[in-house]
Structures are given as structure tokens and as C-alpha cells.
Homo-oligomer: A and B are copies of this chain.
Amino acid sequence: MAITVVGSVAYDSIETPAGRKDRCLGGAATYFALAASFFTDVRVIAVVGEDFGAEQEAVFHARKIDISGIERAAGKSFFWEGSYLENLNEAKTHNTELNVFAAFNPKIPDAYRDSEFLFLANIDPVLQRRVREQMPDVKLVAGDTMNYWINDHRPALLEVLKGIDILLINDTEARVLAGDKNLVKAARGVMSMGPRMLVVKHGEYGATLFHKAVANSRQSETFRAPALPLEEVVDPTGAGDSFAGGFFGYLASQPALTPGAFRRAMFYGSVMGSYACERFGTERLQQLSRKEIDERFQVFRELTHLD
């Protein structure tokens, strides 16, 4: 089943202990789409500026991603500059230029309307909601957000959460959103806001999937996927979006959303997140093969399974 994703398509300038790269193709929707494209059809809604050309389009086309929903506007694309020199788990933002994103009003192409899966990448919750409302009949909606929206745009975010089935955020975001330091209680708090499932990403320690059934203390409804202990993290930018792409892309490829499908989806999310870190920007995702993905899936199984 096809996924429509709305989010940023952007340029990033990134500095990590492994080096520096200026103006790589980036943005949450880009990472998500590339990762998900190994599993299912992906359609992107975004806005870019005049600096987005044939070279960038080719990255999407090579993975057969539909970008007819990427609007071209006068001006420059969204730009982010950040570094991870002291802590690979947390970016330090040096500069954010919204540029064409400032006036973005997402429109859904007719060709996207039969998408059964919708992913609301980390953007202004007002925009997330506008897209959600234009696609009332999707089968499954997942989304991401960040502390900025949680802290400063809470009412708009709470509105969006009512229409999301699965929220994917990190530990800190879950704790801040729910106002509880304990992860299990925070998860329950977040799920009381709308989502019936919550994926909490723990960076290098993996991720945990909570279902609403946790409220009834059914621990077995919780699932924890590991992250691969990586010897060299070249660039963690987009790891979370790539996780989301692997997770949601795999789900969209499945005939039924069984508990087993969700467990495997968590593993595929971790696989895509681990590959994303191996090179700067989206380089590794662009060169990846399904065979490599399935090989690493087996590595994750061996990493965690008793037999």
C-alpha cells in the first residue's frame, strides 16, 4: 500500500567528528521517503525553492518516489546547519532558515488520494493537521514531532495527536509531552492524547513500541528493538526519520497489521536508522539494496535473540 509523507525537503550543512559536509540534500520527508521506498510506493508532499534541481529530483526518481506533490516556490529551500561535535546523540543547531517553508500550504495531488498510509513528518502541527484533514480515509496515520512544537505549539500539537494512530518520538520528547519522567507512565500519558501506539526512540539503545494495552499492565504488548552498536557513526542526521521510514514502509508492505508485523517493523526501522548513520546525509540510503537491509535484519536478530 502506498504511503504519502508530508515534511521537509531541505539542505543541511552538517559537522560531525567524521568531518563536514555543506548543503547535502536532507529534510525529514527525504530521509523518510528514501527509507520507506525499499518496502512500498512513497509519495512526497513538500515545498522546495529554486535551488532544488534535476540532481535532487534524480535522488527521488532513482528510488521510484513520486514527487509530483513537491511544490516549487520562488526563493530558497529550507536550510539547516548543525553539528554533533560533543555529542553524537544530540545535534546542536547553528542556523535554521525556513525560507519557502514559511508560507507553505500543503496540497494533496489527486494521484496521492488513494494512499492508505499517511506519515506526518516533523513540521508545524498546523500543517500536519491540514494534511491529515485532507486525507480523512487513510487506513493508518503515523507522525513525528519535536520539543519545539511540544513546548511552544502545544494546543496545535494536541489537535494533531487526536488524528494520529502511531506517534514516533524520542525519550526526552515523550517525557516532556506527557510531563512524566518515567517512560512507562509517559507512554501511557501520550497515548491518552490520541495515538494508540507510541514508538519511543532511544538513539544508540534502540526503540520501544508501546500499545495502549499497556494501560492494563499487559507487559507483553511492549516490544523493544535494539540499535546496532556502531563502530563509526559518520552522521546521525536523519536516523530517526529513516527509522520511521523503515518502520512505516515495512508495515505498509504487509498484508495484515499483526503483532508480528509490528515487531518486524521495529527491527526494519532500526536497520534503516543504523544504515543512515554510516555516511553523510542520505548518501548511504541512496546506495542501499534490499539485500543489505535483510542481511542487517538478521544481524539484529542475532544481536537480540536467545536462539
Contacts and interface: CB of A to CB of B under 8 A. Distances in A.
Oligomer: number of copies: 2
| Chain A: interface size category | 35 or more
Interface stretch (A59-67, A117-125, A146-154, A227-235): A227-235
A251 to B, nearest CB: 14
A29 to B, nearest CB: 29
Contact of A185 (B210, B231, B267): B231
A60 to B, nearest CB: 31
A182 B16 CA distance: 13
A223 B304 contact: yes
B226 A224 contact: yes
Given A205-B202, A260-B307, A306-B305, A229 B233 contact: no
Interface stretch (A3-11, A30-38, A105-113, A295-303): A295-303
Instruction: Tell me which of A88, A202, A233, A306 has the highest count of chain B C-beta atoms within 10 A of its own C-beta.
Output: A306
A305 B303 contact: no
Contacts of A267: 306
A198 to B, nearest CB: 11
Given A182-B232, A229-B183, A230-B184, A260 B304 contact: no
A223 B301 CA distance: 10
Interface string A176-196: 000001111101000000000
Among all A-B residue pairs, the 3 with the closest Cβ atoms: A205-B205, A184-B231, A220-B302
Given A222-B229, A223-B304, A224-B304, 4 more contacts: A220-B299, A260-B307, A263-B305, A304-B304
